[in-house]
């Protein structure tokens, strides 16, 4: 059991974090990982690490990422299947930015089905377009990430609307969605997520 600011949750928590680019997924994933003592697995971070190290996967992923496109499902699915076979996920995990396509949802169902492990909740972080563009341009100025230019940000938002937003309906149909407003101070958003999960 983990204490999270008054709320107590079962130690084995399996969460997904969905939201448009810039909604604060990576930011909140790090905090939730600490609050619930579960590993946060970000496919975006894994791809960036591979790009940095010049691996075969990184070379393939870079072109898609720089264009604001999703990395093909077959590459992404293999990576997640491998990561979810590691022993540290036995007591729960948080997937940040996966699944992002309907095909990835099917793959995740298959991966979790093998282990008989179901999801506990899907946190959907919302933020309006103006705010996410503002945040990502600020990050671009600070960190120079190659996919944070204005054109690529707009492309990423389009791809999210076309390919990832439909996933919210799929998980709503399963009664798993927890909608959280991603606007406001970072601590405030973390508090909202923890409170929403505790009240489920
Ligand atoms: P990600 O790394 O997931 O990038 P992202 O969607 O932009 O979200 P990120 O987590 O970085 O940003 P956040 O919202 O936390 O993906 C990058 C690329 O990898 C994708 O475009 C794709 O090509 C590829 N990829 C990843 N997963 C994939 C998959 N499953 N299938 C296929 N391809 C995949 O934060 C943004 C900024 O906002 C930060 O600077 C942060 O400091 C700031 N911020 C956060 N919360 C804030 C708040 N409350 N107030 C003000 N600023 C805030």
97 CB near ligand 1 (under 6 Å): yes
Q: Does the CA dihedral 200-98-111-53 come out positive or negative?
A: negative
pLDDT of residue 173: 94
Query: Pick from 45, 41, 107: which is nearest to 73 by CA?
Result: 107
The whole-angstrom separation of Cα 112 and Cα 45 is 22
Q: For a substitution probing ligand 1, which of 20, 44, 187 has the most ligand atoms within 8 Å of its CB?
A: 44
pLDDT of residue 115: 60
Q: Which residues are tagged catalytic?
A: 25, 100, 139, 145, 156
43 CB near ligand 1 (under 6 Å): yes
pLDDT (tens place) for every residue of the chain, 200 residues total: 444 443 334 458 999 999 999 999 999 999 999 999 999 999 999 999 999 999 999 999 999 999 999 999 999 999 999 999 999 999 999 999 999 999 999 999 999 986 657 899 999 999 999 999 999 999 999 999 999 999 999 999 999 999 999 999 999 999 999 999 999 999 999 999 999 999 98
User: How far is CA 168 from each of CA 30, 58, 123, 178, rounded to the nearest angstrom?
Assistant: 22, 29, 10, 10
The whole-angstrom separation of Cα 37 and Cα 79 is 22
Q: Whose CA is nearest to atom 18 of ligand 1?
A: 44
Domain ranges of the chain: 2-198
pLDDT of residue 12: 83
pLDDT of residue 6: 38
pLDDT of residue 161: 97
Q: Find out whether 123 and 193 touch, Cβ atoms under 8 Å.
A: yes
Query: Pick from 110, 147, 171, 196: which is nearest to 26 by CA?
Result: 147
pLDDT of residue 4: 47
Domain 2-198 has CATH 3.40.50.2300: no
The whole-angstrom separation of Cα 143 and Cα 48 is 13
Report the predicted TM-score, pTM, of the whole model to 2 decimal places.
0.92
70 CB near ligand 1 (under 6 Å): yes
pLDDT of residue 25: 97
């Amino acid at each position: 059991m983990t204490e999270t600011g008054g709320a107590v949750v079962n130690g084995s928590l399996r969460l997904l974090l969905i939201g448009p680019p810039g909604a604060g997924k990576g930011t909140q994933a790090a905090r939730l990982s600490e609050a619930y003592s579960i590993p946060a697995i970000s496919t975006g971070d894994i791809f960036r690490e591979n790009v940095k190290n010049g691996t075969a996967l990184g070379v393939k992923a870079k072109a898609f990422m720089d264009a604001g496109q999703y990395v093909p499902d077959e590459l992404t699915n293999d990576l997640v299947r491998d990561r979810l076979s590691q022993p540290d996920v036995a007591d729960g995990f948080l997937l940040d930015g996966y699944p992002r396509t309907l095909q990835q949802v099917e793959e995740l169902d298959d991966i979790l089905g093998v282990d008989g492990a179901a999801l506990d909740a899907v946190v959907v972080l919302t933020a309006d377009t103006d705010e996410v563009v503002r945040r990502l341009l600020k990050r671009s100025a600070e960190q120079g990430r190659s996919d944070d230019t204005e054109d690529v940000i707009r492309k990423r938002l389009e791809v999210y609307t076309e390919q990832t937003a439909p996933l919210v309906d799929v998980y709503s149909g399963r009664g798993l969605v927890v909608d959280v407003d991603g606007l406001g101070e970072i601590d405030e958003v973390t508090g909202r997520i923890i409170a929403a999960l505790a009240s489920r």
